[in-house]
Structure 1
């Protein structure tokens, strides 16, 4: 019994560490993506970076939940986590509207970024990172039989989808030179952000997760 309890504590500490790694990675990814996206006039990369910043707020809520679970509290959201989800949802809505308007204008004007090379690199790094986090969260969640951790792992797949969208938009521009490929990528990221915002508000109300990044 003591051994099982000690092992569970180790797993909960691992879950908390994974949440902190996710937060740190999103901050780093957000800064790099926004700076390079602005410099290279790559709208899809810029929007991808802003999305990463929003996910930091969600990640803080998830980390808070992992800490509570480690202390033996119920697998139920407290006021801090619900407020984090509400802030996350509102931020995703603002981001999606801003990207929709900007990407729409860029598409209409046929704007061309200077290059999307760095978008390809960042997307590939992000895909690998999300894949690693999904595997680790699934492992910990299954060993602890924790619905919260498994839901977090499942919802991280939507973050991977955002990275795939950035990758295809960036490769598409590099291969074709068609500037609207970047705008289409930004529009798709705006759509995914809107879904993330809607599901974040749903989670704050206790609605079941449909696997957006904001779900914890």
Structure 2
């Protein structure tokens, strides 16, 4: 139990770090996106807000367990967290599809600002670490919701890399459409992870593929 308590504490710490970064990411992305008239950056900020909500719910779930709540209450918090994270991932799918199609229809490339590029680079480095840590801790304490939240963080990293690749390829070859197409390629992964979290919340415990 001591080892499990230590992992729960680590989970709380990593979610706190994640929440702080999501607040910074959302504020910078939306602010710089509005200034630069960049749909990509504003959408990136919306993505951060969705992940912020998921992270806050996971923090709540971990705090409940850290306070030595009953097994029943921890399971209830885990199930609630799975619902929220699953819905958050499915909302990410809607955001990806709508923004990508809008950019394809309006022929908008990966316009951005130096501040936005810096943010994307930072996110591309930070989020994979947060994702791996959340999934590892989730495996240690048997929290599929925390592993799903790790998938949320990985989606954020993918979106950051797509923004950077879009800026570079648009500048070099004029491929204004590349970031939209690459974003749409993520849809299957995001839907899969989101649906598995929802199925877990519904009580189908063996459906989560992200636990491998």
TM, length-normalised to structure 2: 0.72
Query: What is the aligned partner in structure 1 of residue 143 from structure 2?
Result: 148
> Which 10-residue stretch deviates more, 112-121 or 165-174?
112-121
Contact kept? 1:44, 1:169, Cα under 8 Å = no
Q: Which residue of 2 aligns with 1:39?
A: 35
> Which residue of the partner structure matches residue 123 of structure 1?
120
Shift of 1:87: 4.7
Partners of 2:130 and 2:89 in 1: how far apart? Answer: 22
- CA shift in 2, pair 1:165/1:71, >3 Å: same
User: Match for 2:100 among 81, 94, 103?
Assistant: 103
Asked whether the equivalents of residues 19 and 55 of structure 2 are also in contact (C-alpha less than 8 Å), the reply is yes
Could you tell me how far apart the structure 2 residues matched to 1:119 and 1:209 are? 34
Structure 2 counterparts to residues 169-184 of structure 1, below 5 A: 169-184=166-181
Aligned 8 A contact 2:148 2:193 in 1: no
Measured in 2, the distance between the counterparts of 1:151 and 1:91 equals 14
Q: How has the CA–CA distance of structure 1 residues 46 and 152 changed in structure 2, closer, same or farther, with 3 Å as cutoff?
A: same
Following the alignment from structure 2 to structure 1, what is the Cα–Cα distance between the partners of residues 7 and 87? 32
Taking the TM superposition and a 5 Å limit, the aligned residue runs for 1:6-17 are: 9-17=5-13
Could you say what the CA RMSD is over the residues aligned between the two structures, in angstroms? 3.6
SS at match of 1:201: helix
Residue 51 of structure 2 corresponds to 55
Residue in 2 aligned with 1:71?
67
Which of 164-173 and 111-120 deviates more? 111-120
How many Å apart are 1:134 and its aligned residue?
4.1
Pick from 11, 14, 21 the counterpart of residue 25 of structure 1.
21
Deviation at 1:16, TM superposition (A): 0.8
Q: Give unpaired runs (5+ residues) of structure 2.
A: none
90 and 154 in structure 1: CA distance in 2 versus 1, 3 angstrom threshold: closer
Per the alignment, do residues 95 and 174 of structure 1 end up closer, same or farther by CA in structure 2, a change over 3 Å counting? Answer: same
Q: Gaps spanning 5+ residues in structure 1: where?
A: none
Change in Cα spacing, 1:95 to 1:18, as seen in structure 2 (3 Å) is closer
Deviation at 1:90, TM superposition (A): 4.3
